[in-house]
Chain A
Amino acid sequence: KAGVTQTPRYLIKTRGQQVTLSCSPISGHRSVSWYQQTPGQGLQFLFEYFSETQRNKGNFPGRFSGRQFSNSRSEMNVSTLELGDSALYLCASSLGAKTGDSYNEQFFGPGTRLTVL
């Protein structure tokens, strides 16, 4: 079974631009979560999608948004980039369920390394 894939792997943008990152979950997985990893803040939860609906959201400004498609693929978008948005963005997929299934582990992709200049 193919793992979680993320594209692109590396991205360089300038302040003020916007960026879209893509994540394809493991086949059959319906939950996709996004995390930001930085040396200072560590791993922080951005949001989670299940069946095209945002189920949970972390403490990030509205410049960070996401969506999920009917095939469970997900995209996240960051508008008006700031220097502090430079990070490794990780996507994770899980089987997911409507309720009571949150004990399933998440499988992570290799990440997209975003550098904002």
Chain B
Amino acid sequence: AQSVAQPEDQVNVAEGNPLTVKCTYSVSGNPYLFWYVQYPNRGLQFLLKYITGDNLVKGSYGFEAEFNKSQTSFHLKKPSALVSDSALYFCAVRDGGGSGAGSYQLTFGKGTKLSVIP
């Protein structure tokens, strides 16, 4: 079974400061990792994904994420936070091998609410 943990329910950061939203995962095969953002009363918007290759993945709106296989982590980062980044962030994993191959089932973390303070 696959699982995702987002240890922080809420992260507060001052505008202009760097931000990090943490994510750790568990999967039996190769991990396909995703970050999504949700604004109030909206669906999820795709930010970035890690499939293979470079451990540092760059995505939309200046976000990036670092894949760390030994720590089974995929933390989301941004060098300088904006007030408009305030939203709910979800990390998700899909098993890219073994019995999960070909399946689009995503397992999500509980979400982290990011508040950027002006």
Chain A interfacial positions (CB closer than 8 Å to B): 4, 31, 33, 35, 42-45, 48, 50, 55-56, 58, 90, 92, 94, 96-103, 105-111
B43 near A56: Cβ-Cβ < 8 Å: no
Chain B contact-residue range equals 20 to 34
Which single member of B42, B104, B110 contacts A33 (CB below 8 Å)?
Answer: B104
Choose among B42, B105, B106, B109 the residue that contacts A110 (Cβ–Cβ < 8 A): B42
Q: In the complex, how many angstroms separate the beta carbon of B41 from the nearest chain A beta carbon?
A: 8
**Contact at A55–B51, with CB atoms within 8 Å?**
no
Residues B99-117 near A (CB distance < 8 A)? 100-111
Contact count A vs B, C-beta below 8 Å: 76
Is A103 a contact of B102 with CB atoms below 8 Å?
Answer: no
**Are B32 and A103 touching (Cβ within 8 A)?**
yes
Given contacts A55-B104, A56-B103, contact A105 B111 (CB under 8 A): no
Give the docked Cα–Cα distance between A42 and B91 (Å). Answer: 12
Which of B46, B100, B110 contacts A102, CB < 8 Å?
A: B100
User: Chain A residues with Cβ under 8 A from B41's Cβ?
Assistant: 110
Instruction: Assess A45 versus B105: contact at CB under 8 Å? Given A90-B44, A102-B96.
Output: yes
A-B contact pairs, 14 of them (CB 8 A): A33-B104, A33-B105, A42-B110, A45-B106, A55-B103, A56-B104, A56-B105, A58-B105, A90-B43, A102-B101, A102-B103, A103-B94, A106-B106, A108-B44
